[in-house]
Structure 1
Amino acid sequence: MILHNALLSTLAFLVPHSRFSFNLSFPRPALRIMNVEGGHGGVAIPPAKPFLKWLKCSLKETFFPDDPFRQFQNQPPSTSFLLALQYIFPIFHWAPRYSLQFLKSDVIAGITIASLAIPQGISYADLANLPPILGLYSSFIPPLIYAMMGSSRDLAVGTVAVGSLLMASMLGSVVDHNHNPKLFLHLAFTATFFAGIFQAALGLFRLGFIVDFLSHATIIGFMGGAATVVCLQQLKSILGLQHFTHEADLVSVMRSVFTQTHEWRWKSAALGSCFIFFLLITRFFSKKQPKFFWVSAMAPLTSVIFGSILVYATHAEKHGVQVIGGLKKGLNPSSLTKLVFVAPYMSTAIKTGLITGIIALAEGIAVGRSFAMYKNYHTDGNKEMIAIGTMNIVGSFTSCYLTTGPFSRSAVNYNAGCKTAASNIVMAIVVMLTLLFLTPLFYYTPLVVLSAIIVSAMLGLIDYQAAIHLYKIDKCDFLVCISAYIGVVFCSVEIGLVIAVAISVLRVLLFVARPRTSVLGNIPNSDVYRNVEHYPNAIHVPGILILEIDAPVYFANASYLRERITRWIDEEEDRIKGTEETSLRYVIMDMTAVGNIDTSGISMFEEIKKIVDRRGLQLVLVNPGGEVMKKLNKAKFTEQIGQKWIHLTVEEAVEACSSMLHACKTSPTKNESEGWNNV
């Protein structure tokens, strides 16, 4: 110990004007870093930054965390132009390095997903109450746009069941597709246009974080509920019903089904059940034998071909089995003049576009990120939003409706061994050939086969295992999930989505408004301090209450924190009364997790300071962050509390307070200020 003190004295003598001061207290001497400008107990105050510069940095970190403009710095104009072109159109980045081996893989993948896209496209268009040919149109133009602008190598573009259901439900509440199919079709194009505008705007203005409000639990519940509703809707085709409810909730569908039992067609039901069984068996086989993924991928097209042949051979269309009928041959006609921008339908189109656009973005970005993680490459969320938005804008001009990157099609694309987004181009070429030459072959395709394809695809979206996992890990997430599911199934798709998002946002607000605070105790035989509830062996330090605030302090939680801290003090004093421990003298606030504070938070600390002063206690702060320290210093709170009552660590603060308690006990005539000087 003598050698230790001598060493510290020597260092202090050699560097008398340095930024270091030396705490010679025992039993553990501590080297404490001091800030020259502030000098507050060794806790540094960050240098003042002009407001405009701070605002610029904050906005840059919020909207441009990936710093996309860094690559353009110090580059000649020609290079900057090429880099900008590659940034907007990633195809110019990977196309020069494209090889024959890549082409072989992408051709196989493109043909494989086309075999899935054609029957799915027709099925989902029928689900959206739109002409079936729109499903093929939507699998031609949008994939070409995405291949040029998308950053994912594995995303396969096309229509999705949930988006189709949403569009049918929301537009159907205003316009009956049976009585006015032309207006319904035009509104679908308009809703797709607004969805694309909204999606592209989110990407251009770097507002992709809005999509993050759709939490994982929300998406699981919403997708499961939507899949259940979609399956229920297919009872119309499977049972061969001519009239069916326009509502999507469980009660309405069941009422519509069981009030028409006299119109059930057993031939249609038997055919549908057989195809559903066939599709589920092929999927099960492909999961068990991943190398035979193509069996499941080819099953929908096989069902369409076999079903068409069966209907043609048996003339089943004359015995209650409904068929698609004639499909128009030719490529996408223009729909630019068919957009509806007049009241009262424009507001419906905007609302439908916003909701379906968010759902499509959430699914497309999540799917793209998942497969990018498997292949260890990066997808740019904002680029994806711009790409998906652009393909929907262009699609609305070319007789397409809402498209994104569905999981089922992308999974087939991934398993087929795609190398680049060129597989979407191959798929589009196959769909183009189908539109030009093969559409008459779909005349006898039974609607019950399309319903079977939809049901088999939707059953995979009801992820009950994920819901059970949520229940085991986080009951709040499970509540969000099950609320979304119940809302979709028993109310409507829109209401279910609103309920799920509202609960998620409410949960975030509760976390902000009611941050976690805890009492810390000392782990025996160590200098570590932990939550006494989590560590039963942690012991209270005599005369000292150590509290931890685990969140930023804002106006939303300042009042709660003041009340909670006061209650902690009351509870600690009540606990001490029944024991022979030293009376409470110090309240240490561990602010390590307090990343920021506003004026309401500062006022809260000032009130806490007054409360502890009236009780004859001393408030001690530990490790306030840079921004927090800067604001406390500007508010003169550091002067009110005193520089010596701010420490870097809980260990250091406890050591100092314990030393002063010890000094006051050994010399009762000394006050705490003298005790501090002795320390």
Structure 2
Amino acid sequence: MMRHYVSDGVENKELDATSLPSSEGQRENPHSVHKVGFPPRRNFFREFKDVLKETLFADDPLRPYKDQTRSRKLILGLQFLFPILEWGREYNFSKLKGDIIAGLTIASLCIPQDIGYAKLANMDPQYGLYSSFVPPLVYAVMGSSRDIAIGPVAVVSLLLGTLLQNELDPVTEKEEYIRLAFTATFFAGITQAALGFLRLGFLIEFLSHAAVVGFMGGAAVTIALQQLKGFLGIRDFTKNSDIISVMKSVWGSAFHGWNWQTILIGSAFLAFLLCAKYIGKKNKRLFWVPAIAPLISVVLSTFLVYVTHAENHGVQIVKHIEKGINASSVRKIYLTGSYAKKGLRIGLVTGMVALTEAVAIGRTFAAAKDYQLDGNKEMVALGTMNVIGSMTSCYVATGSFSRSAVNCMAGCQTAVSNMVMSVVVLLTLELITPLFKYTPNAILASIIISAVVGLIDYEVAFLIWKVDRLDFVACMGAFLGVVFVSVEIGLLIAVSISIAKILLQVTRPRTALLGNLPGTTIYRNIEQYPEATKVPGVLIVRVDSAIYFTNSNYVKERILRWLRDEEEQLEAKQLPRIDFLIVEMSPVTDIDTSGIHALEELHKSLQKHDVQLVLANPGPVVIDKLRLAKFTGLIGDDKIFLTVGEAVMICAPKAREDA
């Protein structure tokens, strides 16, 4: 009886214990079942082409264009750049109805949020509204997500404001500050679009999920702390974002800087907003309650301040929002000089963070609704909208998780919901911005605090702690870096720990001792399967990683350490020594020249101890490189087996005879 299984895309077979060939037959024909196969040789250019294609074009974007006429290729190309040309042909009144409802709902949420988020970026309120007018229109034409809602978001606004503030004072150098913001937005868009065109979207994957959770949680705490200025009515507030500086500023003004009317307004409406959010969370059909609660809060608080003249009693108000649609800012972008370099640096950082957030949101909702999302196409769309936005007085816009969730629950069908939202923002800019004059800053602070509370995900952080402690270190490192130092330092810590984790896993791969499961020819990790037994005279080690220059010496030393430890135990128990070392190589996906050199050194070391090196199930890439390096000839073709089971069938009888 034979067992079949698939390894490396090739069907392999393991003999049942009852049908093992005799040892004599094995010595005459060691590879009694199958010999290890060698892949067909490929020239350098073919191999380079295949690697490049798999890295950058794994989804084969040219497949739809094959065997098509020129006109059809042109149409497909336009549909790739402008997905609206594809889904727009199937658009109907039923979808429009859902998009209008969703667009109106997210507009009621975005207008008060945008005014507050602009303050996070140290910019006038109208710039937040501008950024919810032009960018969503561009994305609706070029984006491929049906659910994502575009506009300013809290984390990116805070990050942009912090980085800009390090270069220019937003009060005394206001004009230069605004110009640098547009410049950073321009380069953020260029970065995003370039990553999409060059199909380098995999670069954003270097920021691990755990690091993102920690960074978002830390940013949420920092944003909430920053809102204490407006929430408490403090006029002189620190420009630093770390928790120590903020709390010093808060307590330092406790007896002369707090305004009780402001605190009363802020506390009352914050309680209202949190209750509305709780209602929407408990009953999904009431999603519209937390969606319209911010706008209701703005309207009621503005009316309250207007009729009571609370501004005369120390309540800080918005005062003025410039009326009218976006003015052109093409001539305000720095393309040369020191400010251009600063804008490029700030744009790279904010653009990558904005991209990470948008792609994560888009993928989440695409998976929920079971449709495909092209990450590279999304990057091009996001980059283009920010480039155009930088020329129309907008700062960095991206996908908002809270507004996207509301957009989805409100029944959006396509990106037309973004268009509807843009139209509402346009009407707001043209008609009703003067009505926001008496809006208290405390309300904006309350809206932002209620919005960022959801960014602190305790459940996910606890799950990370239970599953992977190293991931939790990355999470907490990013969180503490943002809270106690600054947003940019927290981001740097998040990236550094994520990369350090990759390097640690690459340089210190896992290895395992394998044993035989009784009654079978299956060999598994003896730590995972305590019932697995070791084979007398044979040591079986599995390497769970590719072998490169970064870990080749460690792999060699770790295998030799396994051998030394095993021999010491056998000697203490007066059991037969080890004669064969079998290296299970099925998890070894690749090997370089350093790895091959390490195997050669391992072979020499084993020869000195009269231990023979045996390889089991090397993959096609590995066996091809071993053959080219003549390593297969060094240890002998008869020491390379298809499975561990076959290797043991040959080695175990010999080990017993030698003993």
Counterpart of 1:661? 655
Give, in angstroms, the shift of residue 582 of structure 1: 2.3
Is 1:407 the counterpart of 2:379 in the alignment? no
Q: 3-state SS of the aligned residue for 2:246? A: helix
Question: How many residue pairs were aligned?
Answer: 642
Q: 3-state SS of the aligned residue for 1:540? A: coil
Letter of the structure 2 residue corresponding to residue 125 of structure 1? A
Aligned partners of 1:289 and 1:535: how far apart in 2?
46
Aligned partners of 2:274 and 2:16: how far apart in 1?
75
Is 1:605 the counterpart of 2:599 in the alignment? yes
Identity of aligned residues (%): 50
Is 1:140 the counterpart of 2:133 in the alignment? yes
Maintained 8 Å contact 2:160/2:346: yes
Counterpart of 1:212? 205
Letter of the structure 2 residue corresponding to residue 51 of structure 1? F
Which of residues 158, 176, 184 in structure 2 aligns to 1:183?
Answer: 176
Aligned partners of 2:128 and 2:159: how far apart in 1?
16
Residues 23 and 116 from structure 1, CA distance in 2 versus in 1: closer, same or farther, beyond 3 angstroms?
Answer: closer
Maintained 8 Å contact 2:136/2:151: yes
Residues 329 and 542 from structure 1, CA distance in 2 versus in 1: closer, same or farther, beyond 3 angstroms?
Answer: same
Maintained 8 Å contact 2:580/2:655: no
Counterpart of 1:304? 298
Give, in angstroms, the shift of residue 580 of structure 1: 4.0
Maintained 8 Å contact 1:554/1:597: yes
Aligned partners of 2:543 and 2:337: how far apart in 1?
53
Q: Over the residues paired in the alignment, what is the CA RMSD in angstroms?
A: 2.1
Counterpart of 1:614? 608
CA deviations over 1:91-131 (Å, ceiling 9, x no partner): 00100100110000000000111111111111100111101
Residues 260-409 of structure 1 aligned to structure 2 (within 5 Å): 260-261=253-254, 262-409=256-403
Letter of the structure 1 residue corresponding to residue 226 of structure 2? Q
Residues 279 and 75 from structure 1, CA distance in 2 versus in 1: closer, same or farther, beyond 3 angstroms?
Answer: same
Q: 3-state SS of the aligned residue for 2:515? A: strand
Counterpart of 1:634? 628
CA deviations over 1:130-157 (Å, ceiling 9, x no partner): 0100111111100000000101000010
Give, in angstroms, the shift of residue 660 of structure 1: 2.6
Maintained 8 Å contact 1:335/1:397: yes
Residues 270 and 428 from structure 1, CA distance in 2 versus in 1: closer, same or farther, beyond 3 angstroms?
Answer: same
Letter of the structure 2 residue corresponding to residue 215 of structure 1? S
Letter of the structure 1 residue corresponding to residue 223 of structure 2? V
Counterpart of 2:561? 567
Give, in angstroms, the shift of residue 23 of structure 1: 11
Give, in angstroms, the shift of residue 452 of structure 1: 0.5
Residues 275 and 575 from structure 1, CA distance in 2 versus in 1: closer, same or farther, beyond 3 angstroms?
Answer: same
CA deviations over 1:289-337 (Å, ceiling 9, x no partner): 1111111100010011001100100001111111111222211100000
Give, in angstroms, the shift of residue 29 of structure 1: 3.5
Counterpart of 2:20? 28
Letter of the structure 2 residue corresponding to residue 561 of structure 1? V
Aligned partners of 1:366 and 1:65: how far apart in 2?
19
Maintained 8 Å contact 1:41/1:644: no
Counterpart of 1:50? 43
Aligned partners of 2:171 and 2:321: how far apart in 1?
18
Maintained 8 Å contact 1:283/1:296: yes
Residues 116 and 22 from structure 1, CA distance in 2 versus in 1: closer, same or farther, beyond 3 angstroms?
Answer: closer
Letter of the structure 1 residue corresponding to residue 227 of structure 2? Q
Aligned partners of 1:602 and 1:25: how far apart in 2?
34
Is 1:118 the counterpart of 2:118 in the alignment? no
Give, in angstroms, the shift of residue 39 of structure 1: 13
Give, in angstroms, the shift of residue 40 of structure 1: 13
Which of residues 640, 647, 652 in structure 1 aligns to 2:641?
Answer: 647
Deviating above 3 A after TM superposition, structure 1's stretches of 4 or more consecutive aligned residues are 20-27, 38-41, 661-665
Residues 423-572 of structure 1 aligned to structure 2 (within 5 Å): 423-572=417-566
Which of residues 168, 173, 182 in structure 1 aligns to 2:166?
Answer: 173
Letter of the structure 2 residue corresponding to residue 493 of structure 1? V
CA deviations over 1:435-494 (Å, ceiling 9, x no partner): 111111111111111111000001111111111111111111111101100000000000
CA deviations over 1:379-425 (Å, ceiling 9, x no partner): 11001101111000000000000100110110010000000011001
Aligned partners of 2:655 and 2:258: how far apart in 1?
87
Maintained 8 Å contact 1:150/1:387: yes
Q: 3-state SS of the aligned residue for 1:538? A: coil
Letter of the structure 2 residue corresponding to residue 133 of structure 1? Q
Maintained 8 Å contact 1:520/1:530: yes
Q: 3-state SS of the aligned residue for 2:591? A: coil
Residues 581 and 27 from structure 1, CA distance in 2 versus in 1: closer, same or farther, beyond 3 angstroms?
Answer: farther
Q: 3-state SS of the aligned residue for 1:515? A: coil
Aligned partners of 2:534 and 2:656: how far apart in 1?
16
Give, in angstroms, the shift of residue 531 of structure 1: 1.2
Is 1:86 the counterpart of 2:113 in the alignment? no
Maintained 8 Å contact 2:105/2:410: yes
Point out the structure with max Rg over C-alpha.
Answer: 1
Q: 3-state SS of the aligned residue for 1:443? A: helix
Q: 3-state SS of the aligned residue for 1:373? A: helix
Give, in angstroms, the shift of residue 573 of structure 1: 1.0
Letter of the structure 2 residue corresponding to residue 284 of structure 1? Y
Letter of the structure 2 residue corresponding to residue 193 of structure 1? F
Aligned partners of 1:342 and 1:365: how far apart in 2?
31
Moved more, 190-199 or 256-265: 256-265
Aligned partners of 2:154 and 2:486: how far apart in 1?
15
Letter of the structure 2 residue corresponding to residue 231 of structure 1? A
Aligned partners of 1:567 and 1:431: how far apart in 2?
68
